[in-house]
Amino acid sequence: MEKKINLGTDKVNKIFWQYALPSIIAMLAQTTAGAIDSIFIGRYVGPEGLSAITLFFPFLMLLIGLGSMFAIGSSTLAGIELGKDNFEKSNNYFNLAFWVLGLFSITTSIIILTSLGFISSALTSGITQTYIKDYGGIISIFIVFFMLNFVMSFFLKLDGKPGKVVKIMLSGTIINIILDYIFIAWLKMDLVGAALATGLSQLIPFSLFLYLLIRESNWTIKGPIIRLKEIWAIVFNGSSELLSTTAHALAGFVFNIIILREIGVLGVAAYAVTMQIGSIAVSIGYGFGEANQSALSFNMGAKNYDRVIQFRRLTLIATLAAGFLIFLFTNSLGHLAAHVFVKDAQTIALASDILKYYSFAFIITGANISMSTYYTAVNDPILSGGLAFYRSFIGLMIGILVFPIIIGPSGIWYAVIFAEASSFIAGIYLYNQRPFGLKSSKQDLRPVGAS
């Protein structure tokens, strides 16, 4: 039986790695599932299929952002209340997130199903348009399971069960891979099969999470006490995650439009390959950042400020080390990695070229993500959202406007390097000047809300 972790008294190094390793494995498992989807689609359906899921992905990003907003916002506030020994209020945050997000997910599914024709025709035409409708129609049915898995996984980690959470998430990844082979490679179901495999890989973990939540956790599912102030607190605290994914989705949409105009469908396919490999760096950043979210929020509530700083320092060092390893991998094996996803020589060459630029950004991608999630955990969504929005959208848009003029067409890829580098400088400055958020400084280290 998994031993429950005490977030307030166990050694910081012990908690850090006991939470970080399962979280990273879980994030990489999800990334691997997405990458394997792309491999099967790229090799058995073709570049048009890969382009279809890439064009539809910004819409999924918006939904992921909403799920993250409720899951992280509610679990952060619940963790702070647990640190204050206020379980009833903490449990109500769980129920607010669970029921509000569940109802929202069902509504969203209906909206997507009824508007897929318009969405697909606005993005592209021909077989790619058909693929978008096939993929989006199936995925929308499973949105509620995607969303509620966010909430349950975060609250189970807050309850001291990170190991069991990662085992359940890994089971979903394995199921996804098996079903990808059956539906795409064997039954030739194309994008319908890919979406069905992804959806079922969320349904089964949902059932396991729900069982664990009811039978083995301290959380109790019941009708929430609805207070608009608390719902607003969840939305406000988690808004940086929504802002980040929304900005990333908008930037992805802009990139896709530019690539379609300048290069065409093959360019979008090459960009998709790059994004799949780049998602490893993103996963590690979120893995480290979200792993310590529970410990950070708990210790903020308990006013253990020295422990908060220790968690933050370990996270920054670990993400930078991981980023450098990803840089080495991308530079040495980027062409081979691209070859795994697609057969088309032109797409492979283009993806390999893009990866050379992106590899430098990968060094600090994880660190930038962890700095943003840190401020969410200490209950400062303004700084968290500001860092995330600048990195995901403003910095990218500045780079897109400036570097192609200076360098030429390849300047679009320099935009990513510029956004990551400038975000890193801003994050380090804030770490030094505002260690616990806007209401703190180097001279006054009282966190937000401290008495």
Domain ranges in the chain are: 12-433
Both structure tokens of 148: 């509620």
Asked if residues 131 and 55 have their Cβ atoms less than 8 Å apart, the reply is no
CB 234 within 8 A of CB 101: no
Quote the CA–CA distance of 148 and 252 in Å, as a whole number.
25
**Whole-angstrom distance, CA of residue 277 vs CA of residue 31:** 9
Please return the burial class of 382, using the count of CB atoms within 10 Å of its CB with bins 0-12, 13-18 and 19+: middle
Residue 227 has pLDDT above 50, yes or no: yes
Q: What is the pLDDT of residue 448?
A: 37
pLDDT at 450 over 70: no
Percent of the residues in the chain that have a pLDDT greater than 90, as a whole number: 15
The string of pLDDT tens digits covering residues 261-315 is 767 777 777 777 777 777 777 777 777 877 777 788 888 878 888 888 888 888 8
Q: Mean pLDDT across the stretch 79-87?
A: 85
In eight-state DSSP terms, residue 159 is T
Q: Distance (Å, rounded) from C-alpha 451 to C-alpha 93?
A: 22
The CA-atom distances, in angstroms, between 306 and each of 436, 446, 447 are 11, 12, 12
Half-sphere exposure of 341 (CA within 13 A, CB side): 31
Question: How many CB atoms are located within 10 Å of the residue 74 CB?
Answer: 31
CA distances 409 to 163, 171, 405, Å, are 46, 43, 8
* 187/235: higher pLDDT: 187
Among residues 433, 428, 437, the alpha carbon closest in space to that of 300 is found at: 437
pLDDT in tens, 163-177: 888 888 888 888 888
What pLDDT does 196 receive?
92
Is 238 within 8 Å of 74 (Cβ atoms)? yes
pTM above 0.85, yes or no: no
- Within 292-380, where are the H helices? 293-301, 305-341, 345-377
Q: Taking every pair of C-alpha atoms in the chain, what is the biggest distance, in angstroms?
A: 65
Name residue 443's amino acid. Q
- State the Cα–Cα distance between residues 128 and 265, nearest whole angstrom: 9
